[in-house]
Every structure is written in C-alpha cells, then in structure tokens.
Chain A
Amino acid sequence: MSPDLRVRLSQVELVNPIMTAAGCAGTGRELARFVDLARIGAIVTKSVMLEPRAGRPAPRMAETPSGMLSAIGLQGPGVDVFLQRDLPWLLSRGGHTVVSIAGGSASEYAELARRLSEASGVGMIEVNLSCPNPASQGRDFTDEPAEAARVVHAVRSHARSDIPVFAKLAPDVPDLVGLATACVEARADGLSMINAVRGMAIDPVTLRPAVAGGMGGVSGPAIRPIAVGCVHRVHAALPEVPIIGMGGVRTGTDVLEFIAAGASSVAVGTVNFADPSACARILREFEEAVEGRGVARVGELVGAAHRPIGAALGG
C-alpha cells in the first residue's frame, strides 16, 4: 500500500513534504519547464520586498566544495509586480504558494504582510529574517532575537489569520533555540531552517574575495549536517512547533533525514541549480524510501530520531 504523503504545517495541509527553498525556484515559470509545480507540496517564492531591488553586483557566486557561495542581494521586482504578474501565474498552476518576504524594518515586513493578505491565494508567509537591520548597525534580524521577534509579531498582526506565518532562521547565531523560542513567543506558527551559512571564498590568484561584497551564503550539500543539527536541536526544545527543514537536500533519503530530525516538510534549494528536475526526482525517491519503511503516514516519521532506539523506525 502506498503511504499517505500528506503533511500538516500549522493549519495548512500539503500534498507531500517536498517544497522549493526561497530564492531557488525563480518565479516558478523557469522551473515549470522541468517540474509539474502542482505535484510538489509547495513552491516558496524568492523573498519579496516592497520596492524593486537590483541586488548585488556580479560576481554573485563561487562554487565551493559540494556547494556554492552566493550573494544575490535579494534582487526582485517588488511586491506590486509580484502581485500583478508572478502570483497569478503561480496560482494558475494550481500549486500551493508560500510567499517569502524581506524588509529593512518591522513596519516594512508588516506592510508586506498586509499587501499579501489582500491578495487571494497566498498559502503561507515565510519571514526571511536574514536581512540587515539598519536600526541595529546593519546586523541581521536573526542576530538579535528581540529584533527578530518584533518583525514576526508585526507580520503576524498584519497577516490574515488563516495564513500561517513561518519565521526563517539562520544557523550561525549564538543561541538558535533562544531565537526560535523568541519567534514562537511572537506568535510564529512555525519555523523554517536553515538559511545559507555566512561565509567567504577568496580567489587564489587575485587574493580578493571571490564574490563582490566579500561575504556570501554557503548552500548546498556541504551544509546539510549543520542544517540537520539545527532542526534536531530546535525540535527537541519545541516539539509542538512545525518546522520546514532545508539545507543541502539532494535525494529522497536526505528528506527522510530532515523528517527524522523533526521537520514536517523539507525544501530543496541549491540542488535545483544542478538538477532542474530535482524536486520531481526527490519526491519519487522519497516516496520509495517511505514505502520501504511500511508506515501508513509520513507524519509518523517526524522526529523519529528523537525516540528511543527500537521505537524510531517504521517497518
């Protein structure tokens, strides 16, 4: 019997736990040539901002071992164009749409939540907190749990009540569980983790940073153990809070790993660049992997790694 792949994220149900990660699926149109977007659990958009944004200068990326370093700088057309052009297209495809938002102050995030709530079809809001906070010398919101909580609270207060709000966390913070708890206390319905890990690559010839602007985010399979560790820690501390896990997912077994660590669903990011049909392939592999375990529902496997030996495995 084929297992029930449906998963629940707060008040939303997805047909399966495979999602795209923010900023790794274009507007959806580009990926739709390779993947039927209605078949995967959800598509997460590039982080949307209030205004159009040109992003960082090139070079924006350098390949690193089993991954890449990138600094895109949130290039995007702004919320007006997103609502007029990109969202209607995504909805026409019949998939579940999660809109990622980014801003420079709690009020900008709140305004975005308000605008998205006026539109129909936004299935969930993911709050990208890895953005510099000008009011705090440009430190990221994730670096200061109180600031992150202020943003989450503002978004939750302005978003329609039937739209779940997930806070997206960075891995490289002094107290991840403290940050997660602060976001949940600010009424986040769930958590997404992890964003790319801050890092740098230096060109061996010029001895200058390989990516314009110096620092970038490391993503891809290289960061998967970091990501699984983060999900495991946060799920142990906050077992009732749904988690979208991500970081280096390349195969169906990787998805299972995140679910066992405590994620309810799992997003595929950088690997889409290497394999444009990755989401469809990973879904297939995941389904086979779950089938082999003889469980009736994927939900039974969430947090399996936290259970005592012997109790963890279906089948």
Chain B
Amino acid sequence: MSEAAEDDRAESIRMIRDSAAAVAPRGGDSKRVRALRFTDPGYDPAVLRQMGEMGWIGLRLPEAAGGAGLGMGEMCALAEELGAGLAPEPLIPAALSAALLGYADDQAALTPLLAGEALTLTAWQERADSLVTPGTPDAKRIFVPMAGGATQFLLPLREGTRMALHLLPAAGADLTIERTQDGGTYGTLRPDLSRATRIADDVGGVIGRVLDEAALATAAYLLGTMEAAFALTLQYLRTRQQFGRIIGTFQSLQHRAADLKIQLSLTRAGVEGAAAAFDAGATGDAARAVVSRAKARAAEASLRVTRECIQLHGGIGYTDEYDAGLYLRKAMVLANQYGSAALHRRRFLETAPEDEE
C-alpha cells in the first residue's frame, strides 16, 4: 500500500471508531446494557436500526450491493468498539446474513436487513463447537444468537454437491429460546421446509469465508470487551486502598496486570494482523490460519482477563451491580461462539504454513 493509501485507511478506521463510540460508548453506558438484559429480544431494535442507518450491517458488502464496501480492518475496529461498550445488538450475525443475501443477490430480503429494520439470522449450526455447515435438511439448527428478535432465517441446505440457501419466515417457526449469561438468547430452530423459499442454488463456495469473517469479528468484539474490563481493573488498582496503600503498589498485583497487558497486546496483534491479511487479499488456508490464531487467543485471553478482573476487585467484583460481571458474562458467551479456542487451535495446525526454521 502506498503511504497515502495507508493514511486513508487509518483515517477510515478512526472514523468508524468515532461513530461507534457514539452508539456504544466505551465502558460508559452500562445502564442501557443492563436494562436490556434478560428482556425480549435482549437488544434495542431502535439501536439496530441506527446501526443499519450508519451502514454497519452492510459494512463489508460492495457498494453496488447496497453496502459500504469497507474492509475487515474497519469491521474489526467497529466490533472492538461495540465489544468495549458491550452492545447487545446482533451486528455480527446480521452482517453474516447480509453477506449471504448479497451473494444470493436477493434485494427484497437484503434491503430491510441492511436498514436494520428486519433481522435475518443464518441458522447454519447443527453441532456445538463447530464451524462446518452440513446443511442437513431435517436437522435442527442450534445456538442461533439473539434468535428471539429474528424476522426470518436463512437455511443452508445440502442438495447433492451444492449448498442451496432457503429463506424461512420467523413468524410461525418452531423456535425454542434459551437465555444466555449476557442477557441475550440462543435459539433452537426446527425448520419446516415446506414454509421456506429457495433463494440461491449454491452458497457452498462462500459460507466458510463468511463464517470466518464472523469468527474474526467476534475475536475483535472480545478484544474490546477485555480492553474495557482491563481498564476497569487498572482504575481500581489505582484507587482502592488497603493496608494504608493503593493496592496497585503491591508488586504481586503489578505483575498480574503486566501479564494481562501482554495477553491484550497479543490479542490485538493477532486480530489486527488477521484483518490486514484479509484486506490484502488472503484466501484459503492462509486466511483460515490467521482467523484461527486470532480467535483462539481472543477466546482464552478474554476469559482470563475477565476472571482476573473479578479477582483483583475482591468482594465487589462478585456483585451483579458492579460492571466486572458484565464483562465476565460477555466473554463466557462469545469465547466459544464461531469456534472455541480448542477448535481454532486444531484448525490452525491444519491450515498454517509450515514453520520455516
């Protein structure tokens, strides 16, 4: 990239961050987040619409398809900001569906989704902790995030060697909802194919890539969540006093904070590096390897940082009233979404190029 192009890129990412902060202020608006927990649908439809208006749901779609035509660098910056503000709106699952609908060129379904007026969720998953899409016609689809707010579902269906895409209205669908730790929902869908319409012959070539982008964006969201949890922890270490001293002066706690900082920096390097690789055109195994490296790290590090956040706070960290728990619960939900650390470690070894040394 030329220097001017790099500057443009940095500016575009900075702008995304600024506008994200207006919707989901970093570590600032836990009142909104709390008020939405354990409600139906678990997020604010008005905020999802706002996200649509900002062009975020179609951020990655080409402009010709009604999107913003931006890169993974922007997508990850956006997801990170939303993670820092714990925004419950299902932007990542919505963007995943937008990519498939864009590929299927179904403007009728795509337009309201991009506007944030309808929520189309892709019901691809048949087994826990998996990134493959078997497309089994009669299999129930599990762990559909925020399914309670869906207006329609996208169903990948195996037809011989092809993976067709069907659209199923959510109204009247056989859907069970379970609550998640962060106050959202997971849905289990038993699809009735007689009510579905076929909208694409074969999405087999893109669905893996689309899931990888969701995995990477989730890693970025977790990066934001752990940054916010870490900031809260540092603030506490700087102010809380015991034994007549600020607890941040205890060397054992300083070392713990230093270790967490290392994890944060590793996660950031992995996530931003993966996004840059995507934007530089990485495909196939090379792309899968960087996503897996980033998501494996983000999953483990986010759990660790949020656990330590509780421990370093003592008793107050164990109250629901204090925000430390919100970060812990968010990490619990997202660490294994779009693949656990174990899944991604395995996949990394299968896809990473041999070490040259």
Q: Do A and B make up one complex? A: no
Q: Chain B residues in contact with chain A, CB under 8 A?
A: none
